[in-house]
Amino acid sequence: MKISSEDQKSQMCTNAYCCCKCASQYPIFAHPWNSGPFKGSISTRLGWGCLIEGRITFFDFEHTECEMFTPKYDENDFQSALKAIDAEIGYIFDKEELFLEKFGKGNIMNLTTVSFASTSVKIVYVLDCGQHVSDSVPMDDYLAWRGKQ
């Protein structure tokens, strides 16, 4: 069975909804006990399997798309998302520390909501005394802080 040069192509695949970025796609390898075209080394890739609802459909190509697309978990995306959230949390807690010094009666126990609107950032949290506090920051203040990062 012919192995295509799809490996190099997957690095360049620009279709965000391509099968190569789908969690249902798995590589399919040969086994020496097989007969016919599926016989071979376990390191020989024969093609691609699409696993949906307990059934695997074989593809001899890697790149296409369908309506069942489910994004693959990506550790790098996850880490950069965490970093982005971390930066926002830094802002929110720095900001709320000052707010609490002025008006509050305790420490922040839990952050419950952060929402961004066109003119403001709304922050809702719970203090260790049980008090719920809602704060609204003008978007300009938030953007000024982002500019300093």
Judged by beta carbon, residue 63 or residue 95, the one nearer Zn ion is: 63
Judged by beta carbon, residue 18 or residue 137, the one nearer Zn ion is: 18
The number of residues that bind Zn ion (CB under 5 A) is: 4
- 50 is a contact residue toward Zn ion (CB under 5 A): no
CA-to-CA dists, residue 54 to 50, 58, 71, 72, angstroms? 10, 13, 18, 18
Least distance in angstroms from the C-beta of 142 to Zn ion: 37
For Zn ion, the binding residues in 3-42 under the rule CB under 5 A are 13, 18, 20
CA-to-CA dists, residue 133 to 43, 101, 125, 136, 145, angstroms? 58, 13, 5, 10, 22
Q: Which residues bind Zn ion (CB under 5 A)?
A: 13, 18, 20, 63
